[in-house]
Amino acid sequence: MKVKRLKRANRLLTFFKYNYKFVPPYRVLVDGTFCQAALTEKLNLAEQIPKYLTEETHLMTTKCVLDELEKIGPLLYGALVIAKQFEVAECPHKTPIAAADCLSHLARRAASGKTKYLIATQHDELTEKLRTIVGTPIMYIKFKTILLDNISEATKSGASKDEEEIKRLKQLKKEIMGPSDPLQKKKKKKKGGVNPLACKKKIMKASVETVRTGERTATGKRKRTKKKAPVESD
């Protein structure tokens, strides 16, 4: 099950990489509901989220999220302690607003900006709102594990529009530049002349052949003499 979960996460992240330019290190915006769920399920977010995404990850929150948790008080004190461990992302709200509104605002900015965010939340209303924002990956906790939400219809349609735009630009380029040059005919190989080495006369090399004679040595053995014999070579 763990392998299937990681494969699914990799497939979803690959979609966001190629269509919405998500690149590591990933920035994950965490709200109070997600921190509370992690506390209940005894999940170490700083350890589990990077392991699940299999890339370097920056866990972040906003001052609006922290302000909301402080206002709620002891009921979500544990979630506040967890959230305070994370980096605080810049948000434009000088006076803190509701955490859900803050995160949805940053998600909209991320859709058209360079800074991309994954949003981690258990808030149902916020999740539904995020699904309408093009190019927004959503994370949640279920069955004591962290999961990426399925790609929303808005995100799918946004990706298909980009593909259509690329096709349109290619067609426009073709109309401006004109049709491409026809393929050049392959050059025929020139017939080479006669190999000069093949025209050389064969040189006779002498080889040594041992021939026995009738003469004997002092010890009684027959003498052997070497005789040169002509041998053809290229």
| pLDDT tens digit sequence for 22-47 | 999 999 999 999 999 999 999 999 99
- Going from the C-alpha of 65 to that of each of 10, 19, 57, 211, the distances in angstroms are 28, 29, 19, 109
Is the distance from CB of 100 to CB of 122 less than 8 angstroms? no
pLDDT classification of 213: cutoffs 50, 70, 90: low
DSSP letter (8 states) at residue 192: P
Share above pLDDT 90 across residues of the chain, in percent, rounded to a whole number: 62
Q: What is the pLDDT of residues 92-108, one digit of tens each?
A: 999 999 999 999 999 99
Distances (CA, A) of 127 to 6, 36, 73, 94, 124: 22, 16, 24, 24, 5
Average pLDDT, the chain: 83
Among candidate residues 156, 157, 138, the one with its CA nearest the CA of residue 148: 138
Residue-level pLDDT at 158: 86
Which pLDDT does position 113 carry in this prediction?
A: 86
pLDDT at residue 220 is higher than 70: no
Assign 51 to helix, strand or coil. Answer: helix
Higher pLDDT, 174 or 105: 105
Answer yes or no: is pLDDT of 200 > 90.
no
- Say how many C-beta atoms besides its own lie within 10 A of residue 171's C-beta: 10
Higher pLDDT, 146 or 210: 146
pLDDT band per the 50, 70, 90 thresholds, residue 58: very high
The more confidently predicted of residues 61 and 169 is: 61
